[in-house]
């Protein structure tokens, strides 16, 4: 499967077939995702693959800020990936100060890149995913028992899709892209 096909064809999947996603498949997906770029190659992202239905339901009920779609998605997905980041590394100097005026931004940036890599890898194995942004990270961290030196950066629901979704409209290249040249170019 070529990269452009994956990037264009991946869709957010919120309805899953009952077919389980094996640990072996999750391993293969993370084996690819771990090659995502990161701040100074610090690789601060960690992946927790939650199969425990009771725990998924706890997160769905308590931690989705009343957003019904996400409550249902988390309850129904065969696997929930809780993506965490090791704190105070990405975007930081060794003495604990920020490396740039953008502060903690780079930790989230790394988590975003890692999420896209994970989702594209999953797609290449036929596994559907959706990034979930509406949740309470601290509460998920508590419910999961995440270590103190990590914080929750994202949730990704995962499972085999019931059907292939249609892409929501995208902006045109002309709207998104500006070329910047000197007057001599
Ligand atoms: C940062 C981020 C947060 C998102 N949060 C949610 C969410 O809370 N619930 C949800 O169902 N989808 C969520 N999505 C999925 C987007 O709605 C989806 O990517 C967008 O509509 C484009 O559709 P596509 O992924 O099928 O191309 C999120 C996506 C991103 C990147």
> Is the CB of 11 within 6 Å of ligand 1?
yes
Quick one: pLDDT at residue 165? 87
Quick check: is 160 in a domain? Answer: yes
Q: Does residue 131 line the site of ligand 1, with CB under 6 A?
A: yes
**Residue at 17 is within a domain:** yes
The per-residue pLDDT for range 91-140, each reduced to its tens digit, is 999 999 999 999 999 999 999 999 999 999 999 999 999 999 999 999 99
pLDDT of 103: 94
| Residue range(s) defining the domain that contains residue 116 | 3-176
**How many domains does the chain fold into?**
1
**Ligand 1 centroid from CA 132, angstroms:** 6
- Of the candidates 147, 3, 129, the residue with the CA atom closest to the CA atom of residue 74: 129
Closest-CA residue, ligand 1 atom 2, reads: 133
Choosing from 130, 152, 159, 164 the residue with most ligand 1 atoms within 8 A of its CB, the one to mutate for a pocket test is 130
Give nearest CA residue, ligand 1 atom 27.
11
CB 168 less than 6 A from any atom of ligand 1: yes
Please indicate, yes or no, if residue 48 is contained in any of the structural domains: yes
Regarding the beta carbon of 74 and ligand 1, being less than 6 Å apart is answered: no
Q: How far apart are CA 120 and CA 45, in angstroms?
A: 16
67 CA → ligand 1 middle, Å: 13
Residue 185 confidence (pLDDT): 78
Instruction: With a cut of 90, say whether residue 159 has pLDDT above it.
Output: yes
Q: What is residue 78's predicted lDDT score, i.e. its pLDDT?
A: 98
Residue 183 within a domain:
no
Question: What is the mean pLDDT of the segment spanning 153-162?
Answer: 98
Return the residue matching tokens 């509460």. Answer: 139
> Any idea what the CATH number is for the domain that residue 43 is in?
3.40.109.10
Residue 139 domain-assigned? yes
Tell me if 184 is assigned to some domain: no
In a domain, 49, yes or no: yes
Q: How confident is the model at residue 174 (pLDDT cuts 50, 70, 90)?
A: very high
Task: Report pLDDT digits (tens) over 7-22.
Answer: 999 999 999 999 999 9
Q: Which residues contact 41 (CB under 8 A, 6 or more apart)?
A: none
Q: Whose CA is nearest to atom 10 of ligand 1?
A: 132
Q: What is the position in ligand 1's atom list of the atom closest to the CA of 70?
A: 9
pLDDT digits (tens, 9 = 90+) for 49-99: 999 999 999 999 999 999 999 999 999 999 999 999 999 999 999 999 999
Q: Is the pLDDT of residue 1 over 90?
A: no
Q: Is the CB of 167 under 6 A from ligand 1?
A: yes
Work out the pLDDT band at 183, boundaries 50, 70, 90: confident
Instruction: Flag whether 181 is in a domain.
Output: no
pLDDT at position 40 is 97
Predicted local confidence at residue 98, as pLDDT: 97
pLDDT of residue 184: 85
Q: For the chain, where are the E strands, in sequence order? A: 45-50, 79-86, 128-132, 150-159
* Bridge partners (DSSP) listed for residue 20: none
State how far the alpha carbon of 58 is from the alpha carbons of 48, 140, 143, 172, in Å.
16, 9, 8, 41
**pLDDT band (50, 70, 90) for residue 164:** confident
């Amino acid at each position: 499967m070529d990269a452009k096909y994956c990037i264009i064809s991946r869709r957010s999947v919120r309805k899953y077939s009952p077919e389980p996603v094996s640990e072996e498949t999750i391993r293969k997906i993370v084996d690819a995702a771990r090659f995502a770029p990161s701040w100074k190659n610090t690789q601060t992202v960690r992946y927790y693959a939650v199969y425990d239905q009771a725990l998924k339901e706890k997160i769905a009920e308590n931690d989705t800020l009343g957003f019904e779609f996400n409550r249902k998605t988390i309850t129904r997905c065969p696997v929930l990936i809780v993506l965490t980041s090791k704190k105070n590394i990405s975007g930081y100097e060794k003495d604990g100060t920020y490396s740039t005026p953008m502060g903690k931004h780079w930790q989230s940036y790394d988590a975003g890149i890692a999420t896209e890599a994970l989702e594209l890898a999953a797609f290449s194995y036929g596994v559907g995913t959706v990034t979930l942004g509406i949740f309470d990270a601290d509460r998920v961290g508590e419910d999961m028992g995440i270590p103190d030196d990590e914080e929750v950066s994202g949730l990704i629901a995962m499972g085999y899709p019931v059907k292939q979704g249609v892409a929501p409209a995208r902006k045109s290249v002309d709207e998104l892209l500006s070329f910047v040249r000197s007057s001599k170019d």
